[in-house]
Each structure stands twice: as structure tokens, then as C-alpha cells.
Structure 1
Amino acid sequence: MPSKTARASANTATSKTAASKTVASASKTAASKAGSRTTASKIASAPKVGSRTSVKPTAKSAAKAAVASKPAVKPVARVGARVEEPKKVLTQRQGFKTGEFVVYPAHGVGQILAIEEQEIAGAKLELFVINFIKDKMTLRVPTAKVANVGMRKLSEPGLVKRALETLKGRARIKRTMWSRRAQEYEAKINSGDIVAIAEVVRDLYRSESQPEQSYSERQLYEAALDRLSREIAVVQHVTETEAVKEIEGQLAKSPRRGAKAEAGGEADGDLEAADGDDAAVAA
């Protein structure tokens, strides 16, 4: 039979084994409880669907929220940006005004009745309305084109006096074909230059003692005389009839058309005039 010492050691070993098992089971139980608590805390901390519990925003969502919360800023215009200016009506009137008499090269003296605006192809255009009483004609000229067409103001008294002095000079008739001279005369008449027009009147004038003019010469002479007399009449505030008499009085003072010149024959001048007549008949 075993001794008491052996039984005591066996009991001790058995008690140790039981104690270790008890400790192991206790640790497992504690571990399981700890795990259940951790799970419960996770479940408790997770947001419920439909709950009002706020979720901690991430970095991206926080940035978006910050941008959305900023007040809208209006775009600032760039420095030096092109600013659209209001459309300006053309006012290139060159000092002309309503009621004023002007000289239009192709038609002579006319009066500005009004300054009106018309819309052409979507653009506003300012026009001078010019009336030529003797020709019974009304002309509309863009104010921006007056320089191109040669429209001008009436001549100054000093320039009118110079034109009248030109009429007293000797006629200058070139020994060329009439057709070429006629073109030169017509260009002078339509130039609007009062002195050049006076030169045409001087060169084409014929006194009663001189040979008659051809039809084309007479037409050019009357056109030049009309242009010259109308401008002189407006500048000097006289009638056209009085202006024509003044012009003819100056022409009579020409050395070629004086009494002494007519007696002497003035062969050169008469020959040139006759050549002009022959050329006109041939044309």
C-alpha cells in the first residue's frame, strides 16, 4: 500500500491540475467577455441607418463643404479689358451748317436745307440735303464724304476779286484739237475752283465783232458763266443778272477785246480762235 507521503504528493498534483484547469477556464471566460464587450462597443459606435448621428467627415468632404460654404464671388473685370463704347453718330460736318450756301463742284452753288440721318445696312449715316434751286434738284451727300467730293464753302471776297481780275487778262487758247481743249475746259468747270472757272469764261468769250462760237464752245462758255455768276451773286449779295453784267464788264476790259485791239486785228488771237472753230466743225 502506498505511503502517506505518496498519497499526499498525488493529491497535491491533482489539486494543481484542477487549479490550472480552473485558471484556464477563467481566462477563456474573461477573454470571451472582453470580446463580447469589444463587439458591443463597435456595434454601439457604428451609425444606425436613418439616424441623425453625424458621421465624421473625411478630408475630401471637408474641403468640398468649405468651398460650398464660401459666398459666391463675382468675376472681376481684367485691368485694361476692352469696354464697349456707345455707338457715336457721325458728325464729320467740316463746319457746314443748315441754311448755308456751299459749292458742289459738279453742280455749282447750292444751299444746305437740312442735315438728316438714314440707316443703311444697319449703320447710321449722316447726310447733307443740298438744294440747287436753278437746276430744281436736291442732292444728299454723306457728311463723311464732303472732302472726297470737293464740296467747299463760298469763296472769300478777296478770291472773288482775283477771279474778276482774271477776266481782264489775255485769252490763252492753245493750238491743239478742240476735243482735247474741250476736255480741259470741262475739267476746270467741274473742279469748283472759281479762278479756273474764270479762266474758261475768259478764253471762250466772244465779243460782237469776233467770229461766232461753235455749239460746243457756246455750251461750255454758258456753263462756266453760270457757275461763276451764281457764286459771285451769293458772295456779293446781288442778283445773278447783276453778277453777269459785272463779269461782262470785266471781259470788255481785256486787251484783246478793246477797241484798239479789234482795230489792229490781233492776228494771233483771231487765228487761234478760228482754228478752234474749224476743229469744232470737223469734230
Structure 2
Amino acid sequence: MTKTKKSEFRPDDFVVYPAHGVGKIMSIEEQEVAGFKLELFVISFEKDKMTLRVPTNKAAEAGLRPLANADTVAHAMKTLKGKAKVKKAMWSRRAQEYEQKINSGDLIAIAEVVRDLHRADDQREQSYSERQLYEAALERLTREYAAVSGRDERAAGKEIEDVLVGRAA
């Protein structure tokens, strides 16, 4: 039995897993599960104190992807500068859409959620669920932006905040 193309991921690579955001591949290991040998990526999400094992042959199906390239990050930052687009649909429907965008792992979609849910100090209060979705999206965006740009998360967060505040002015 021959192996198909060797995986594009290697230990120490940063990757994005849609449901959890940025993680780091710690190793690629073989495990026997129900009598079958499986090759697995061992991915650490340090901030969440979580380790995930993803079969290498199911990685693409699971949505595992490399960090965004500089163009995608620039597009995401440009998206943040845009005007918030708030649909008139009921909040439960919008919340579901925001949740799907966050869990898609798509950096542009996540930036849209951050843009649409960001509130300047002089705007109305956010509900608890709005705040939770905003913070989840902001954290995902910040982690990937920090990993791509080589900055620490605090510096990346400050830059994103500056863009958001700057657009309101």
C-alpha cells in the first residue's frame, strides 16, 4: 500500500482548525484504533489547554488549514474598516449566522463578525450573547493575526482595536 501525497503540515507548523482557531502541530504519530493504524496530527491549543488529534487523511475534510497568507490578513483588516452590516433578521437567526462564520475558520468571515458586532463607547449596550460572539470572533482574529504577523497577541489585539476605533471616527 503506497501513501498518497505527504501531508502539507509538519511538526511546529501553526494551523487553523475551524472550531478552535490557531493551534500548533506538536507531532505526527501513529495510533491503533479498532484494529486500524491511523496517522494523526497532534495539535496543541495552548491558550485553551487542549490537545486535538486529527487523522492526517481527514485533515482537509475537517477544515484544517495553514495560517492565512499576508493578502488574506490584509483583506481581513480592510474588512474591519468597512461599515457594519446588520441585517434586520431576528437576533437568534443572526446569532446563528455569526456562530457559523466564527466556526468556519474563514478569516474574512470572522473579521465580518468582529466588524458587525463591534460597539464604540457611545453606541448602545451589547447583549450578553452579542458580547460573547464578538469576543469569540475577536479572539480568533487576534490569534491568527498575531501568528501570521509574528507579533504577540497583545500587540495584534491593540492594532485590531485601533482599526475598529479608527473607522468610527
Work out the CA distance in 2 between the residues paired with 1:179 and 1:93. Answer: 43
Aligned equivalent of 2:89 = 176
- What is the SS of the residue equivalent to 2:54? strand
Work out the CA distance in 2 between the residues paired with 1:162 and 1:118. Answer: 40
Aligned partner of 1:108 among 21, 40, 64: 21
Task: Say whether residues 1:197 and 2:110 are aligned partners.
Answer: yes
- What is the SS of the residue equivalent to 1:134? helix
Larger relative contact order (C-alpha < 8 A, sep ≥ 6)?
Answer: 2
1:162, CA displacement in angstroms?
0.8
Map 1:39-188 to 2 at 5 A. Answer: 87-88=1-2, 93-188=6-101
Aligned equivalent of 2:157 = 244
Work out the CA distance in 2 between the residues paired with 1:106 and 1:122. Answer: 28
Aligned length: 169
Task: Say whether residues 1:211 and 2:129 are aligned partners.
Answer: no
Q: Percent identity?
A: 62
Work out the CA distance in 2 between the residues paired with 1:244 and 1:220. Answer: 16
Q: Is the CA contact (8 Å cut-off) linking 1:119 and 1:125 kept in structure 2?
A: yes
Gaps of 5+ in 2: none
Q: 1:200 to 1:163 in 2, by over 3 A?
A: same
TM-score normalised by structure 2 residue count: 0.96
1:92, CA displacement in angstroms?
5.6
Aligned partner of 2:138 among 222, 225, 230: 225
Moved over 3 A (4+): 90-94
Amino acid across the alignment from 2:138: L
Q: Is the CA contact (8 Å cut-off) linking 1:117 and 1:127 kept in structure 2?
A: yes
1:122, CA displacement in angstroms?
2.2
Q: Which structure features the higher share of strand residues?
A: 2
Gaps of 5+ in 1: 1-86, 259-283
Amino acid across the alignment from 2:39: E
Cα RMSD (Å) of the superposition?
1.2
TM-score normalised by structure 1 residue count: 0.58
Q: Which structure features the higher share of helix residues?
A: 1
